[in-house]
Amino acid sequence: MEAKGIKGFKDILPDDIKKWHFLEETAKEVFENAGYSEIRVPIMEFTEIFSRSIGEDTDIVEKEMYTFQDKSGRSITLRPEGTASIVRAYIEHGLHADPQPTRLYYLGPMFRYERPQAGRYRQFYQIGVEALGIDEPLLDAEVIMMLWHLFERLKLNYLELQLNSLGCKNCRPLYIKTLRNYLTDKLPLLCPDCKKRYEVNPLRVLDCKREQCINAVANVPGIFDSLCPSCKKHFDEVKGYLRELSIPFVVNQKIVRGLDYYTKTTFEVISEKLGAQNAVAAGGRYDGLVKDLGGPPTPGIGFAIGVERTISLFKNTPPEQKPLIFLASLGNSGQAFSMKLARQMRDAGIKVELGYGDSLKSQMRKADKSGTGYVLIIGDEEIKKGSAILRNMRTKSQENIPFGSVFETVTKRLRPEAQPEGLSDNI
């Protein structure tokens, strides 16, 4: 058997993981500062959770879900997106009984069987938020503001926020009728998938990335003429709040998203550096989803960020945090003392790397390669003398430190360097 991973499933190696940590930790800080709490849901759900929420005839449900039967014969699916699972948990655990809105964020892997390409995998990761319980334009603007603030914190450039409104169940049917009438003459130009979408949900023709379909809908009528007064007012207020916040945006009436549960406000953040699949993050309002899954009528809005795509936009690699001190030990007594000292220092928040069993020369080479600032040398000879040798790797100077004061002396010497090195200026 060849030791090889599954196509579309990517290993995240130690050299890359610091970028992931930086994104995750920055997102957590931004979300929690806005009053959001983390929720963790399983990566598998009963299939109907996704088919009922995303839409039976969507590409995700028809072509891309990893679905199988468990040993009891129930149809189980690896989650292709996060919102449906969050809404299921919201209903099941009665979170709608708490003061609203319920503000949640999540991060983790999603699964879709699609053609792997740059920045797109069959196991991919998303960071997202969901705010449930309030239908207010102010909440829409706050959610978008939080997303934009996160990208500002990450120092990502060349991003564009695009907005649209998909109307509600009262006014959307009028636009679907208008759209179907427009597409009737364009049917010969559409791809086979979009010919089917024309019958089932013509809105999704606007989301097709094939050039022939993009050209066919180039002059499609916009939805705004079909919006009811309530939806138009809602969208105008969202735009007004974003202008007050000085958040730049572009209105794009072709944003419909690939899931059937969206209503009213929808949005994408795109990057010109990502080619045809250019969305870094996307989301919108889903006011009927909770009811569709068996809960009480509850409005909601959220977004999801593509982790791999976002990381691909980082300009530089965050600097690696070097060990603050390297303990080079020789002999049984020296190694035992080093182990106890390492534990004491780590408990105090100091980063320590231990050398093992090699010659002192070999350990010093490892210490130099690690980029550490100091090496503490402890061998059987140092044990007999009752003092360790502290070597400054920058100045190459050395000093003897009595064992009784090693911890206090070294900790005091390292404390100015013990503060974590900031990353944001390097991205």
**How confident is the model over 20-32, as pLDDT tens digits?**
999 999 999 999 9
pTM of the model: 0.84
Closest CA to 87 of 108, 75, 102, 68: 102
Query: Is the pLDDT score of 2 beyond 90?
Result: no
Task: Give burial (CB, 10 Å; 0-12/13-18/19+) of 388.
Answer: buried
Closest CA to 36 of 108, 109, 103, 124: 103
DSSP string, 368-387: HHHT-SEEEEE-HHHHHHTE
Do 120 and 249 have their domain in common? yes
* 3-state SS, residue 186: coil
Residue 398: its pLDDT value, please? 93
Residue 69: its pLDDT value, please? 95
Query: Is the pLDDT score of 322 beyond 80?
Result: no
Choose one of 287, 311, 335: the last residue of a domain: 311
Do 244 and 379 have their domain in common? no
Which residue is listed with tokens 């499933």?
9
Do 331 and 260 have their domain in common? no
Task: Give burial (CB, 10 Å; 0-12/13-18/19+) of 356.
Answer: exposed
Do 250 and 352 have their domain in common? no
Which phi and psi angles does 342 have, rounded to 5°? Answer: -60, -45
Distance CA(175)–CA(234), nearest Å, equals 17
CB-CB contact of 320 with 18 (8 Å): yes
- CA 81, 83, 87, 89 dihedral sign is positive
- With residue 412 as reference, give the H or E element that holds it: helix 406-414
Whichever domain contains 368, its CATH number is 3.40.50.800
Domain with 331 in it: 324-411
Do 338 and 406 have their domain in common? yes
Distance CA(333)–CA(386), nearest Å, equals 12
Residue 318: its pLDDT value, please? 67
C-beta neighbour count of 238 within 10 angstroms? 25
pLDDT band at 247 (very low <50, low <70, confident <90, very high): very high
Do 300 and 332 have their domain in common? no
Is 5 a member of any domain? no
CB-CB contact of 58 with 260 (8 Å): yes
**How confident is the model over 93-143, as pLDDT tens digits?**
999 999 999 999 999 999 999 877 766 789 999 999 999 999 999 999 999
Query: Is the pLDDT score of 207 beyond 90?
Result: no
User: How distant is the alpha carbon of residue 301 from its chain centre?
Assistant: 17
Task: Enumerate the β-bridge partners of residue 106.
Answer: 128
How many domains in the chain?
2
Which residue type, as a one-letter code, is found at position 117?
Q
Is 285 a member of any domain? yes
Is 219 a member of any domain? no
What spatial distance separates the first Cα and last Cα of the chain, rounded to whole Å?
A: 41
Distance CA(354)–CA(323), nearest Å, equals 10
Is 97 a member of any domain? yes
Distance CA(11)–CA(259), nearest Å, equals 28
Whichever domain contains 96, its CATH number is 3.30.930.10
